[in-house]
Amino acid sequence: MLSPSPFVVAAAAATLASLAAAEPDISLTHHELLQRSVHDGSWALETRSLLDDFGTCGGCENILSLLKGLVKSSDSALTGLGTQLCTIGTPYDSQFCNGTVAREAPVIAELIRSIDINSTSSTQFCITFLGVCKYPDVAPWTVPIPSKKACNDKAPAVSGKKPLKVIHYSDIHIDPLYVAGSSTQCKKPTCCRPFTEDDEPGKSKSPAGPNGDHNCDSPVTLEDSMYKAIHDMFPDQAFTIFTGDIVDHGLFNTSKPYNQQEITDAYSKMNNSFKTVYGTAGNHESDPANIFYPNSQNNKTQWVYDSLSSEWSHWISSTEAQSAKSIGAYSAKYPKGNLRIISLNTNMYYRFNFALYQKDMQRDPNDQIAWLAKELDAAEKAGENVYIIGHMPFGEADALRDQSNYLDQVVRRYATTIRAMFFGHTHLDHFEVSYADYSKRSAANAFAMSYICPSLTPTSGMPSFRVYDVDPDTFAVLDATTYYADMGDSAFQTSGPVWKKYYSAKEAYGAALKPAVTDPAAELTPAFWHNVTAAFEANSTLFDEYMARKSRGWNVDKPCRDSCRDTEICQLRAGRSQDNCQVPTPGVHFSKRDMSLAAQKHGEHDDCGAPVIRDVFHALARRTDLLEMLQKRFVAEGAVVEPVVRRSPVPAESAVASPTPTDDADACVSTTHAGGASATKSSAAEATGLHGFAAAAAAVAAAVGGALVV
């Protein structure tokens, strides 16, 4: 950790000297120092210095301390301040800011009231909202596994029979209010609605075509076109996987009835188009978006589960639908083969699900990880093959690191039962490989594969869907082929989208491997996909082709090299989020449409579901004038900085090191990978987990040999 700046140390020393007494476990120093700086007008500049000089938690926790004072008695101050900051500090207009902040602020206020400063929850808050702080170590937990795997446990060989066709589409984001001819340019995350008179058809200078635009979510015409293309092109499909996100990005005017109607309309069309659809809960299905409460807190999410389970009951049994109604997840037996589909509610591990941020964040919300282990154990004993489907991939930065680690343990234990995992959320065409040893990622210890499907909504590329060739006996994936509608085709807006094959994974990459994998009957194993990433390292042309395919050929003229390429390949080799090489980045992160073209060309995903409050706080972290607005609002409200209660550390469960992967030992033991124990801290500030003013106070106290009062 960097040392506090001299002026902070001096301020802390002066405050320490002025305080004659303090309650044993209460930080009078920190909160009185902050209160004083707010009222003498120096808080904004001091916080700005902490954010600029350190890029650590100090500045964020100063902001969080003021926010806790603002929301202590009600949500209204945060709503008013958030709306004002949104209008000034982001590219969004007042209509969007007013509507969205009004929906998000009460949940954020609840979060701020519940978490403690200098806690794991507040650190995660600072990472998520301001892009500062280092990620905390994964909290050690060895997931209880019902049984150990057998020493001779091996995945079955493919049968060589004619493969089945399995369809996969995701993130359809249907906008029922899309109006052809309305403006594609607006000050909202997505456009193509007549928000103002100038946006109306016949008056707009950038009219939207009838079938979609990259600045807008999917019109109903694009949705209908995809369903028809799938039905016509693959009439013999075995079943369809839909990995969630039906509702559009119009966050300012969604509602419970609006979302329910969107869910009903979309699944009704799927039911009319396909024999069997296995769905998952996307983060946009709730209102406000992203907010899925654990059942132990309240039943505010029950309406979402009721709506989804009712629609899914077209294809799953009443018992399975009841599970979906309870936790938004289910385990269903495919009736025409030896396959079980386990649909996970990944919103329970999503960093923008602020219902998860509590004083003590739950290790296993809704006990879903334990439930998954039991379902997989039962499937293994029954000799079933398993597909895991979910909305958000486990290796993405959006996945909370603790829960991603725990899920990885379960997947590793049952790796020979799980044939593949299928996700969406990023809107891009890519994949993730899981490894038994992330310090030595290789084909030999790659054990699971996640297929991440590109979106129908065209905000990050051409509208797309996937088709998998799968073995009818083992359900191993033999090939993955992406189909797309080229929006640059002149027919797209006239006669309608033309859906065609974009590329086959085996055809695109198989010949580049050593040895080559081109046999149509050969399985695309995790080792195959690791070897693809190795080919990307050795062959820049092949890597460039992959990057172009992420967005299905949209905005790809700038190459991704050096650290960009290294980070991209690291992400592909990350089946759990702690290993994806992503680091918190302070600064302003607005919607895809407002980001630089260079970022789009590198295939960065949409931040699907990122709340506007996050954008507000990112702006707050970079602008002194906005910090001064917070400071003035705090004084005007008569708010008070609360003392920081030092919580006694809870002894962590002993971490069990990940076993070195060997052919024999690793095949016979259950997974015990837990992420490792926290490293021993050396300085007084680090030992207590303090930052900013509190860290400075700790340093002064240590220097003068006094008691640490924080």
Residues 624 and 501 in one domain: no
Residues 105 and 226 in one domain: no
The count of domains in the chain is 3
Task: Give one DSSP letter per residue of 67-97, joined into a string.
Answer: HHHHTSS-SHHHHHHHHHHHHHHSS--HHHH
Q: What pLDDT does residue 102 have?
A: 94
Task: Please compute Rg for the chain using Cα positions.
Answer: 26
Residues 206 and 226 in one domain: no
In a domain, 594, yes or no: no
Q: How far apart are CA 75 and CA 135, in angstroms?
A: 29
Phi, psi of 251 (to 5 degrees): -60, -20
Task: Give one DSSP letter per residue of 560-579, joined into a string.
Answer: --THHHHHHHHHHT-SSGGG
Report yes or no: 47 and 578 within 8 Å, Cβ to Cβ.
Answer: no
Q: What pLDDT does residue 17 have?
A: 39
Position 21, amino acid: A
Q: Is 651 exposed, middle or buried (0-12, 13-18, 19+ CB in 10 A)?
A: exposed
In a domain, 21, yes or no: no
Report strand pairing: 418-423 vs 385-389. parallel
Over residues 534-556, the mean pLDDT reads 95
> In this model, does residue 604 exceed pLDDT 70?
no
Q: How far apart are CA 308 and CA 415, in angstroms?
A: 29
Over residues 367-387, the mean pLDDT reads 98
Q: Among 41, 66, 62, 65, which Cα is nearest to 50's?
A: 62
Would you give the distance in Å from CA 486 to the centre of its chain? 27
Residues 523 and 617 in one domain: no
Residues 386 and 354 in one domain: yes
Q: What pLDDT does residue 64 have?
A: 94
Give the range of the structural domain holding residue 198, as residue numbers without chain letter: 179-210
Report yes or no: 27 and 644 within 8 Å, Cβ to Cβ.
Answer: yes
> In this model, does residue 2 exceed pLDDT 90?
no
Over residues 206-223, the mean pLDDT reads 98
Q: How far apart are CA 208 and CA 502, in angstroms?
A: 25
In a domain, 394, yes or no: yes
Report strand pairing: 464-470 vs 164-169. antiparallel
Token pair for residue 307? 């709506």
User: The tokens 């004072």 sit on which residue?
Assistant: 69
Q: How far apart are CA 64 and CA 694, in angstroms?
A: 14
Residues 51 and 77 in one domain: yes
What's the pLDDT band for 678 if we cut at 50, 70, 90? very low
Q: State percent of the chain over pLDDT 70.
A: 83
Q: How far apart are CA 565 and CA 571, in angstroms?
A: 10
> In this model, does residue 664 exceed pLDDT 90?
no
What's the pLDDT band for 14 if we cut at 50, 70, 90? very low
Q: How far apart are CA 628 and CA 48, in angstroms?
A: 10
What's the pLDDT band for 55 if we cut at 50, 70, 90? low
> In this model, does residue 648 exceed pLDDT 60?
no
Domain boundary among 622, 637, 652: 637
In a domain, 301, yes or no: yes
CB neighbours of residue 334 within 10 Å: 18
Residues 496 and 619 in one domain: no
pLDDT digits (tens, 9 = 90+) for 314-323: 999 999 999 9
Q: What pLDDT does residue 559 have?
A: 87
Residues 195 and 268 in one domain: no
> In this model, does residue 607 exceed pLDDT 80?
no
Would you give the distance in Å from CA 496 to the centre of its chain? 33
In a domain, 480, yes or no: yes
What's the pLDDT band for 668 if we cut at 50, 70, 90? low
- Of the listed ranges 31-40, 231-240, 286-295, 402-411, the one predicted with least confidence: 31-40
Report yes or no: 441 and 470 within 8 Å, Cβ to Cβ.
Answer: no
* Sign, CA torsion 251/254/255/258: negative
Report strand pairing: 644-645 vs 26-27. antiparallel
In the beta sheet, which residues pair with residue 333?
340
Domain boundary among 573, 588, 620: 573
pLDDT digits (tens, 9 = 90+) for 435-477: 999 999 999 999 999 999 999 999 999 999 999 999 999 999 9
Residues 502 and 546 in one domain: yes
Would you give the distance in Å from CA 626 to the centre of its chain? 27
Residues 539 and 398 in one domain: yes
Q: How far apart are CA 110 and CA 293, in angstroms?
A: 12
The pTM score is: 0.87
Residues 192 and 226 in one domain: no
What CATH number did the domain enclosing 225 receive?
3.60.21.10
Residues 6+ apart with CB under 8 A from 391: 170, 243, 244, 245, 280, 281, 282, 283, 346, 347, 423, 424, 425
Q: What pLDDT does residue 432 have?
A: 99
What's the pLDDT band for 583 if we cut at 50, 70, 90? confident
In a domain, 7, yes or no: no
> In this model, does residue 26 exceed pLDDT 50?
no
Most confident of 439-453, 594-608, 669-683: 439-453
Q: How far apart are CA 426 and CA 571, in angstroms?
A: 13
Q: How far apart are CA 61 and CA 115, in angstroms?
A: 11
Higher pLDDT, residue 699 or 506: 506
Would you give the distance in Å from CA 179 to the centre of its chain? 30
Q: What pLDDT does residue 200 have?
A: 95
Query: How far are the Cα atoms of 363, 395, 551, 592 from residue 426, in angstroms, in the given order?
Result: 25, 11, 11, 12
Report the mean per-residue pLDDT for the chain.
Answer: 86
What's the pLDDT band for 54 if we cut at 50, 70, 90? low
Report yes or no: 331 and 418 within 8 Å, Cβ to Cβ.
Answer: no
What's the pLDDT band for 143 if we cut at 50, 70, 90? very high
Residues 110 and 186 in one domain: no
In a domain, 667, yes or no: no
Over residues 62-86, the mean pLDDT reads 94
> In this model, does residue 196 exceed pLDDT 70?
yes
Token pair for residue 17? 């000297």
